[in-house]
Structure 1
Amino acid sequence: MRATDQPAQSSSELSARIGLRLRELRTARGLSLSELARHSGVGKATLSGLESGSRNPTLETLYALTTALGLPLSTALQEPERGARFSGQVLDAVLLDRSEDAAAVSETYRIRIRPGGVRRSAAHPPGTVEHLVVLSGTALVGAAASPVTVTAGGHHTWAADLPHCYEAVAQDVEAVLVVRYPHG
């Protein structure tokens, strides 16, 4: 249940690297540890442990922190690398690509949604949109208030600047997720 990277990099090295990056991002935004903890819903002790590199971040924690900072998930890595892996309780993600143009940052992930739980995501910065293509399985995804069922071969797009969710209906879901975060 941690962020992992290329096999040659140890979990503790990655945790330390992400911790330093989170501290840089927090201080660049002029936020105290307490302020970011409050805005993200992540405990202050957890955040302190992450920044010191003594705790392994989960996907849920990284999303909560980067969302509270108004930044894409990949900014938690100093140099976003293809193949960076993030794991959580319900959802695993592998960064396939990150591109940036004058209008937005786009991140492409290969994801696996495991059955038995729901991954609830807080609203991302205004204008953020997510696109999901299901490769196998059946997923219930989209706006938390009105998720949509998507089967293998299908796709769904939703405004991710509202709370949204991911759920595997009966078995693992394999999918490709594109998240587009507009600048500003």
Structure 2
Amino acid sequence: MKSPSSSIRDILAANLKRERARRGLSLSKLSQLSKIGKATLSQLESATGNPTIETVFSLSRALEVPISDLMDAQYPSAVTVVRAAETEVLSGEGVDLRALNRIESGGVIMEVYDQQVRAGCEQHSLGHAGTEHTVVQSGTLVAEVDGRRVELGPGDYIAFDGWLPHSYAAPEGTVRSVLVLHYRSARSEHQEPPNPPH
């Protein structure tokens, strides 16, 4: 089995170079757009850096691409089985994400993640491409979206425009949830918030 950290580094390096070239961006311009230092970007492209959730989401926002375009979380098969022990973890200041699947259908891209918010931690995001959906599986999740704070328990669901600043916190213990990000494949500059469930 490959080391998770080296595999994530290698995949991100190749995809980041491809997406930067596709958009015709210099390292300096991407650094300006993503607010990530030029030296850090150079390390990421040479597979010597240590990517975090914050880094990958900032790159997704700056390049206006789905997270999976950078992390290559595709499992093409008639039957998809993803084993927890064999799935790489991308960590941030308060969250661990495991990419489970990428689904493309009808002009929409959907990414499915196993998300764990660590006990006593908080994960902040300035925003990123896509619409974000979270279903809490266990624990109490405190979500804040564009200044609005919501407490969610097992079975509760929240959806919002990923471009909005948001955060997740687990003040009472570890939270397990399923995170789904969906995008229009046209990669429009801004995506509308989801319709509320009926």
Determine if the TM-score, normalized by the shorter chain, exceeds 0.5: yes
* Pair 1:78–1:131, CA change in 2 (3 A): closer
Residue in structure 2 matching 1:63, options 57, 65, 74:
57
Aligned-pair distance for 1:13?
4.2
Query: Who is 2:147 aligned against?
Result: 145
Q: Does 1:90 align with 2:94?
A: yes
Residue in structure 1 matching 2:2, options 9, 14, 32:
9
Task: Give the Cα–Cα distance (whole angstroms) in 1 for the partners of residues 170 and 143 of structure 2.
Answer: 9
* Alignment: residue pair count: 175
Name which one, 1 or 2, has greater alpha-carbon Rg: 2
Q: Does 1:21 align with 2:22?
A: no
Q: Percent of counterpart pairs with the same letter? A: 36
**TM-score (structure 1 length as normaliser):** 0.87
Q: Is the 8 A contact 2:8 2:88 kept in 1?
A: no
Q: Is the 8 A contact 2:73 2:100 kept in 1?
A: no
**TM-score (structure 2 length as normaliser):** 0.81
Q: Does 1:181 align with 2:183?
A: yes
* Pair 1:79–1:135, CA change in 2 (3 A): closer
Judge which range, 41-50 or 158-167, deviates more. Answer: 158-167
Please show how residues 126-141 of structure 1 align to structure 2 within 5 Å: 128-141=130-143
Give 1:149's aligned amino acid.
E
Aligned-pair distance for 1:84?
4.0
Q: CA RMSD in A?
A: 1.7
Query: Who is 2:25 aligned against?
Result: 31
Task: Give the Cα–Cα distance (whole angstroms) in 1 for the partners of residues 88 and 108 of structure 2.
Answer: 20
Give 2:145's aligned amino acid.
A
Query: Who is 1:113 aligned against?
Result: 117
* Pair 1:79–1:177, CA change in 2 (3 A): closer
**Deviation digits for residues 47-75 of structure 1, max 9, x if unmatched?**
11110111121121111111211111111
